[in-house]
Structure 1
Amino acid sequence: MRSSTLLVLALSLAAAPLCAQTAPSAVTAPASITDAVNDPARQADKADDARRKVADVMAFADVKPGQKVLELIPGKGYFTRVFSAAVGAQGHVFLVWPDEYAKEDTEGVTASRALLADPHYKNVSVLNQPAAQLSSPEPVDLVFTAQNYHDYPDAFMGKVDMAKFNKQVFAALKPGGLFVIIDHVAPAGTGMQDTDTLHRIDPAIVKKQVEAAGFVFDGESSVLRNPADDHTLKVFDKTIRGHTDQFIYRFRKPRT
C-alpha cells in the first residue's frame, strides 16, 4: 500500500515540469483590456485582431488602467489605440519616433499626428528623438516594441549600440516595470546577422542583450509563433508576410 502511494507521488512529481512547459501561453484578458479591444473607435483594426492576438498580447504585457506606456516606433497606431483605451484617462501613452526611422515611415508619422488631433486619444503624445538617445519624460510602467527591436542596430538607424539602448530602456522604467518585445524569429545561432536583410533577429541574442542591461527575464508567450515559417524568407515576402514566426519576451526591471 505504502509502495503504491510512493509510486503515484513519484510519477506526479515527474510529470509536473512537463505540465509547466506545455502550459498555454494565452492569458485571460481582464475587463479593462477586453473593453479596450472592443472600443468602437478602433473598428477599422478589428479585422487584424485574431491574427495579431491583440488581447493576448495586452494581457501578457500586463497593461492596467492608470499606467504610463512608452511605445517604440508605433507604426500606424494599431497597438497605440488599444493602449490608449486600456490605460484610460488617468494613464498616458508616449509614442517614440526615432528621427532616423521617421524619415523612412512617413505614413506612420502621419498616422500618429492624426491620433494627436483626435480628442478620443488625448492621453497620447509623441516624442521625437535620435534613435541612440531614448528617453522618457517620466518613469513609465511599460516599454513596448513590436517588430522593431531588430531595426535599432541597423545602418539606417545609425547602428545603435544595443547595450546602451537597453540601459536607456531600463532607466525609463519604474522599478518593477516591464519591457515587452515582439519580433520576427531568425534561425538559432544567427545573432543579429539577419536584422537588415531578412528583418529578423535570433531570440537568444535579444534575451542576452536585455538581461545584460540589468533586466530579469519574466516570461514568454507563444501566441504569435508559427512553425510553418522556416525563418529563411524576408518578412515582407508575400508568402509569409503577416504570418511570420514571432517571439514575445517580457523582461522586468527589479524593484530594488
Structure 2
Amino acid sequence: MLRFSKILSLTALLCSLPLAANEALETAVKNPLRTPEYLQRDQYRNPVATLAFFDVTPQSTVVEISPGGGWYTEIIAPLVAEKGMYYAAHFPANSSEYGQRSRKAFIEKMASQPQYSKVQVTEFSAAGGVTIAPANSADVVLTFRNLHNWYIGGGEDALVAAYKQFFTALKPGGVLGVVEHRLPESQLNTEWTRSGYMPQSMAVRLAEQAGFVFEGSSEINANAKDTANHPSGVWTLPPTLRLGEQDRAKYQAIGESDRMTLKFRKPIN
C-alpha cells in the first residue's frame, strides 16, 4: 500500500527555498530564448513550482535523464550555468536510429547558443553500461515522464536498474525528482501496462528497493479531468492527440495527463 509520507501544498513548497532561488527559477522560465511552442506547455508542466519542489537552485549540479528535445534543458541549463552544472543524460551514441537522430539534434541545439556552452551531454540506458554523471556528484537527478518507457521495455527490473543509476550519481542527501503519468490505484486490475500510465505505489516501491527514501509527493502537476482510461492510452491526450480529429475537442478540453510528482532522497548514511 502506498505510503504518502507527506503531501506538500504549493504554498509550502514555494516557501521551501530562499526567495532568491525562487526568483532565479522565475527568471529562467521567462528566458526569451525559450522555444515559443514550449511556452504553451508551461500550464501543464508548471516548471517553477516543480523545480522548486525538487530543490533545484542556481548552485545545483543537476542530471536530467532523457531530456529529449530539451524542454527542461532550456530552463535548467541557463539557471545553473554560472554556479552549478547540468548533465543531459541522452540516448547512447550507439542506440537505435531514432535515438541517434534525437541525440544528434540535441547536441546541435546545445551548440547553437552560448547559454548551453557548459552543458555536459552524457548517456543513459535503462539497461546500464553507461555513466550519466560522476558517482556522488549530483545534487538533483530529474526524470520527466520516462518511467512508463522503461517499464514497457523491461518491466520492474528495468525501473530498479534505472533508479540504481540515479542513486549512484547522487551525492548522499541528494534528491531524485520524478514526474510521471499517474494511473489511479483503482485501475491496477485493468490492462494498463502499455497505456503510458504508471501506478504511484509501484514508482515509490521500486525506488525504495533501489535504496531511496520517499520524502513526499505534490499535486503540482495533477489534472483531475484525466481518467487515465483512453482508447490510445496517454497518447490520446495533448500534445500527441493520437486519434487525430476524432473527439479532438474533448481531449483538448481535458488537457495533458494527470501526473504524480515524487521526491526521493539518497540517505546520508
* CA deviation string 1:26-80 (max 9, x = no partner): 7327111111111121152322222321111111111111221111111211111
How many residues are paired up?
235
Q: Distance in 2 between matches of 1:247 and 1:22?
A: 12
Q: Which amino acid aligns with 2:52?
A: A
In the other structure, the counterpart of 1:48 is: 41
> Pairwise CA RMSD of aligned residues?
2.8
Tell me the TM-score normalized by structure 1: 0.80
1:27 aligns with 2:19: no
Q: Structure 1: how far apart are the matches of 2:207 and 2:191?
A: 18
Q: Is the 1:216–1:251 Cα contact (8 Å) retained in structure 2?
A: yes
Q: Which runs of 5+ in 1 are unaligned?
A: 1-19
> What residue number does 2:258 align with?
245
Q: Distance in 2 between matches of 1:84 and 1:250?
A: 21
Q: Distance in 1 between matches of 2:91 and 2:191?
A: 22
Residue 176 (structure 1) shift: 0.8
Structure 2 letter corresponding to 1:27: L
1:141 Cα deviation from its structure 2 partner: 0.8
Q: 2:150 maps to which residue?
A: 152
Give the gaps of 5 or more residues in structure 2: 1-5, 15-20, 242-250
Shift of 1:184: 0.5
State the match for 1:231 in structure 2: 228
Residue identity over aligned pairs, in percent, reads 27
**Residues 90/115 of structure 1: CA separation in 2 closer, same or farther (3 Å cut):** farther
Say whether residues 1:113 and 2:107 are aligned partners: yes
Partner residue in 2 for 1:15: none
Separation in 1, partners of 2:202, 2:171: 24
Q: Distance in 1 between matches of 2:192 and 2:95?
A: 18
* CA deviation string 1:10-30 (max 9, x = no partner): xxxxxxxxxx86844673271
Question: Are 2:65 and 2:124, in contact at CA under 8 Å, matched by a contact in 1?
Answer: no
Deviations 1:142-197, CA, capped at 9 Å, x for gaps: 11011002211323x798532232222111100111111111012316299634x2
1:135 aligns with 2:128: no
Sort the Cα spacing of 1:41 and 1:21 in 2 relative to 1 into closer, same or farther, 3 A. closer
Structure 1 runs of 4+ with >6 Å offset: none
Match of 1:212 in 2: 209
> Which of structures 1 and 2 has the larger relative contact order (alpha carbons within 8 angstroms, sep 6+)?
2
Amino acid paired to 1:135: T
Give the Cα separation in 1 of the matches to 2:185 and 2:139.
31
Contact 1:131 1:158 in 2 (8 A): no
Does residue 78 of structure 2 align to residue 65 of structure 1?
no
Q: How high is the TM-score relative to the length of structure 2? A: 0.77
- Where 1:94 maps in the other structure, the secondary structure is strand
